[in-house]
Amino acid sequence: MPELPEVETVRRGLAPSFEDARIVRVEQRRPDLRFPFPERFAERLTGRLVTGLGRRSKYLMADLDDGSVLVMHLGMSGSFRVEMGRVESEEPEMPGEFHIPRSKDPRHDHVVFHLEGPARPDAVRIVYNDPRRFGFMTLVERAALASHPLFEKLGIEPTGNQLDADLLARLFANRKAPLKAALLDQRLIAGLGNIYVCEALHRAGLSPKRAAGTIVTKAGRASAGAERLALAIREVIAEAIAAGGSSLRDHRQADGTLGYFQHAFLVYDREGAPCPRQGCGGTVLREVQGGRSSFFCGRCQK
């Protein structure tokens, strides 16, 4: 499943076409994805002006001029592509050293937004393609967004300075769950996924198996490990966003290019490789925790 950096990369790729554009037509080509579409979905979107495109955790959110929000989730294999002009055969612009052709099998093009706006000289089509159909779209009133079941229990975002060592200490105090499980708990921190948790824990020198509460002192304050972890999380997320995310399996950026961050993995998916920490001499291990693979060094991550 695309993680926060991938979703933020998609948001940035879509924003120039989506924001300040009017939705002149919507092609809804099936009644459902993971869930049924809202009633009159295409009708309710037609004619609406997109005033902004944001992200909360792994959800894309398009604010509309009637006070509603189009909430979109990519699921396992969902992706968008931007097509310029009115000719169906035109190819989307796909720069990038790691470019490979995007899948445009029309059987999996489930929603097409036809847009017109001041930022583009011609019409734009934004096509949502989802072979596995685990993604979904819904409409929520902006005033009710915080209390909506999708969002009401989400924790803080792992971007920006709000996530610091003191916050981790408050969140993890007295928690006996493994540190990795606590970091993946969306009620505590929203948007962290398996890849970036593995990478951040390695940078911080912390084992994914240790109890979350052990990075908090007996006095309830942040330990040096909590300081390292907070910094590592912010750095890993920022670097992954800057690199365009990690191109694993189905993820592509909105312009069709692959992300670069997978080339910077230190431990994720590197079972048996030497630990990259200078002077460590350990080996990257793989263990399953909570149904997910943890990649870590058993020597330098304590």
Q: Classify residue 259 as exposed, middle or buried by CB count within 10 Å of its CB (0-12, 13-18, 19+).
A: buried
Q: Which candidate, 202, 69, 201, places its Cα nearest to that of 212?
A: 201
Q: Which CATH class is domain 165-297?
A: mainly alpha
Is 292 a known active-site residue? yes
Going by C-alpha positions, the residue among 173, 159, 110 that lies closest to residue 4 is: 159
At 204, is the secondary structure helix, strand, or coil? Answer: helix
Locate CATH 1.10.8.50 in the chain: 165-297
In the set 2, 5, 178, 208, the catalytic residue is 2
Every domain of the chain with CATH number 3.20.190.10 lies at 4-144
Quote helix, strand, coil % in the chain, to nearest 5.
25, 25, 50
- Prediction pTM value: 0.85
HSE toward the beta carbon, residue 297, CA cutoff 13 A: 24
Positive or negative torsion for Cα 121, 21, 24, 58: positive
Which position among 25, 104, 210, 292 bears the catalytic label?
292
Class of domain 4-144 (CATH, top level): alpha beta
Q: Specify whether 2 is catalytic.
A: yes
Name the strand (E) or helix (H) holding 227. Answer: helix 224-242
Cβ-based burial of 123 (10 A; exposed 0-12, middle 13-18, buried ≥19): middle
pLDDT of the chain along its 302 residues, tens only?
Answer: 677 888 888 888 888 889 999 999 999 999 999 999 999 999 999 999 999 999 999 999 999 999 999 999 998 888 888 887 654 445 543 322 222 344 567 899 999 999 998 766 677 899 999 999 999 999 999 999 999 999 999 999 998 788 999 999 999 999 999 999 999 999 999 989 898 999 999 999 999 999 999 999 999 999 999 999 999 999 998 888 877 644 433 334 444 443 434 546 889 989 999 999 999 999 999 999 999 999 999 999 99
Residue type at 23 in one-letter notation:
I
Catalytic residue among 11, 48, 58, 102: 58
Q: With 0-12 CB in 10 A as exposed, 13-18 as middle and 19+ as buried, what is 187? A: exposed
User: E strands within 229-291?
Assistant: 284-289
